Structure 1
Amino acid sequence: MEPSPMGYFGRLPVELRMMIWTDILTQRSTTILRTSSAIYDDIAGPLYETFQITLSPNYNDPWLTLQSTWTKLTWELQPRDGRRKRKKFWKLLYNRSKLIVDILAPQPKDPAQIILLWKKVHDLVTILNRAKYDRSHIVVRLKQHQGQDWQNGKTPVQNIKYPGDPHPNHLIVFLPLCRLIRVRKMEFHLISTDVDRFATHRGFIRYVNITRIFDNIDGMVTDIDFFFECKLDVLPGRTAAMLRLDRFANWFTTRDAETSPYQRQLLLTAWEYPNIVATHDPYLAAWVRSMELDDI
C-alpha cells in the first residue's frame, strides 16, 4: 500500500473517511479544510459535488437556502444580509458543482407570492453572475408546494392577471434566468404528479427554446417589474402587505435624506421605457410628460 499523505487515517476505507468528514462538517466546523491539501482534496470532491438552492414563496421562509447534498450543511441568506455574507456565495466552486435550483409553487389565494419569487430569482441571478467561477451545470426544477402546482388541470396558473398576453407563473420565474451568464449547461424540469398531462411543460419548453431570440429581455423584465410595482399597491393578502412594508422601509437607503434609490429607479424606468409606464400607470406617465414640458 502506498504511503498516505494523511498517515494511518488515509488507510481507512473511503466510506469511513466520508462518515467522519460528514460528522465534522455538520458541526459547521469547516476549518478542517485548511489543515492540509490532502485533507482538502479528500473532502472537497463530495462537498462541492452538488448544491441545492431552494426559493420558497412563503414570506417567513429564508430568502434563499443553499445546502450541500452530501454533508447536509445549510446556509441561509436573508434580504438584508450584506456583502460579507454574500461573498460566501460568490466564492463557491461552482465550476466543480452541479447546482440544483428548486422553485416552489406559489399560492393563488396569496397572489403576491409570485412577486416574492420574482424578487428572489432576480437576486439569485445577481449572486451567480457575480460569482468568481463559471457555473458548470445548473438544473432548475419547478416543484409543487403545500398542495399547489404550477397549473390547474391543463391551465397554467397565473397569480396576477397581466394585461394582454397571459403571463403564467412559470414564465414569470423563468424570465430573470435568461440573464444568467457563464453557464456551461442548463436544464429545466417541471416536477408534477401529473406530468403526462402537464400542458405547462410543453409551453415552458417552447419558451426555453426561443430564449436566444428574445428581442429585448431587459425590456420584458423591466415591464414585469414595473407592472408588479403598480399591482402591489392594490393586491390583497399578507405577502402583499409585508412587501409594501419592506418597500417603504427601504425607500431611503443612503445617508442623504433627500435621495431615494427606489424613487430614482422608478423615474429612470419612466424616462427609459415611457411605453411601459403608459401601459401600467398612465397617471405617472402624464406626470413625467409634464416635467419634461416644464424643462423646455
Structure 2
Amino acid sequence: MSASPFGYFIFLPSEIRLLIWENLVKEGSLAILRTSQAIYHDIADRLYDTFDIHLSTIFEDPWIEIRCKLLRVNWVIGRRDYNKFSNLARVPYDKVKLVVHIYAPDPDDSGQMILLWEKISKLTQMLCTIDDSRNYRDRGNPHYKYWSEPMYEGSYQFGSTPEAVISMVIRLRKYNDVDWIRNGQVNSTFCNNGLGYDFNEVLLPFCRLSRVRGFGIISDTEEMAVAADWAFANYATAFVMTEGFVTFNNAVYSQNPEYGDIVRTFDGIAGLLNHRDDFFSLWVDYRFLQVPGRTLSLMRHEQQTYLVDAMMHRA
C-alpha cells in the first residue's frame, strides 16, 4: 500500500486531527504546514478563512484579540508584543478575510477613544508594512520599523489594483450598552477639541491601507445606520479602494460638489493623521491634561511602569 500524504495521521479520524491542528496553531507552531501538501491544506483551508479581530475599549481586555472562525483558536497580542506583530505581517492576506470589530468608546471615559486610536493605528501599521511609502511615527517602539446624510454604500462599485490582497470588513460594535450613538446623536468624544464623530475618527488610520480588494463598514444597530451621516465613511471607502494614500486623492466622489469639504480633508490626509497621532499621544504624555473616566489614568500608569522597567534593564 502506498504511503499516505498524511503519514500516520491518516489513521486518526478527521475530528481528532482537527483537535491536534487546533492545539498546534494555538501554541503558535506552524512548522507542520511544511511537512506535506495534504497536511498543509487540511490546516490552511481552515486557518486561512476568516480572522475576526476584536479591538476593545476596556483597558483590562486583550489589547488585540484575533479569532479564527474554522479553527477554534484565538491569539492575544499585547501592546508591546512586537514579534507577534511581525509574524502577523507575514500572514497570506490574499487567502484571509478580515473582520475588524471596533467597539464603541464611552464618551464619559475619554481615554477609551485614545486607547482605541492606539490599537487601530498599530493594526493598520502592521497591515502596511509591505509598503514603505507611508510615514509613521511609532514613538513607543524603537524596534518595530515600520456632510449631507447618505446611507453607507459599501465598496462593490470601486475598482482596485491587480495585486490587491486585503479583504476587510469593519464592524462598528455596541459594547456594554455603549453605542456609537446616544439619544439620537452620534457621539463625538473630543468635539470640543476640534475632532469629528467618533466613528469617523476610527476610520482615519485605515485610510493608510493599500492593496485592498474589498472594504466595507457595517454598523451594529439600525439606529446608528439611520441616524449617522455616512458621507465621510463612503468617501473613506472609495479612498482606500483607490489607494489614495500612496497615489493621490482621486476617489469616485472627488468631483462631487456635495463632498467638497470631505475632498479637502482627504487632500491633506497625511498631515491629518500625523496631527491625530500627536493629539492622542499628548493626552497620554502630559499628566496635567485631565479627561473624565479611568482609562487614561490606567494608560499613563502602564506607560510609566514600562519606562521605569526599561531604565532598570539598561542600568
TM-score range normalised by the length of the shorter chain: 0.7 to 0.9
Q: Is the 8 A contact 2:216 2:237 kept in 1?
A: no
The one-letter amino acid of 1:172's match is E
Alpha-carbon deviations, 1:114-160, whole Å to 9, x = none? 00000000000111112599633111111111111111243111122
CA distance in 2, matches of 1:220, 1:55: 22
Which stretches of structure 1, 4 residues or longer, exceed 6 Å deviation after superposition? 7-12, 252-255
The one-letter amino acid of 2:167's match is H
Uncovered stretches (5+) of structure 2, i.e. residues with no partner = 132-162, 250-265
1:224 aligns with 2:276: yes
| Structure 1 counterpart of 2:174 | 144
Percent identity of the aligned residues? 31
Q: Is the 8 A contact 2:89 2:129 kept in 1?
A: yes
| Structure 2 counterpart of 1:215 | 267
Uncovered stretches (5+) of structure 1, i.e. residues with no partner = 258-296
Query: Which entry has the higher C-alpha Rg, 1 or 2?
Result: 1
Q: 1:228 to 1:251 in 2, by over 3 A?
A: same
Within-5 A mapping of 1:189-200: 189-194=218-223, 197-200=226-229
3-state SS of 2:213 partner: coil
| Structure 2 counterpart of 1:173 | 202
The one-letter amino acid of 2:165's match is R
| Structure 1 counterpart of 2:300 | 244
Question: If the length of structure 2 is used for normalisation, what is the TM-score?
Answer: 0.69
Question: If the length of structure 1 is used for normalisation, what is the TM-score?
Answer: 0.73
Structure with higher RCO (Cα < 8 A, 6+ apart):
2
| Structure 2 counterpart of 1:94 | 93
Q: Is the 8 A contact 2:52 2:67 kept in 1?
A: yes
CA distance in 1, matches of 2:268, 2:308: 30
Further displaced range: 30-39 or 166-175: 30-39
The one-letter amino acid of 2:185's match is T
Higher relative helix content = 1
3-state SS of 1:149 partner: coil
CA distance in 2, matches of 1:27, 1:136: 27
- Deviation at residue 48 of structure 1 after TM alignment: 0.3
- Deviation at residue 4 of structure 1 after TM alignment: 6.3
Within-5 A mapping of 1:241-280: 241-249=297-305
Q: 1:205 to 1:198 in 2, by over 3 A?
A: farther
CA distance in 1, matches of 2:283, 2:184: 26
CA distance in 1, matches of 2:206, 2:8: 48
Within-5 A mapping of 1:27-176: 27-28=23-24, 30=29, 31-83=31-83, 85-130=84-129, 135-164=165-194, 166-176=195-205
Q: 1:250 to 1:217 in 2, by over 3 A?
A: farther
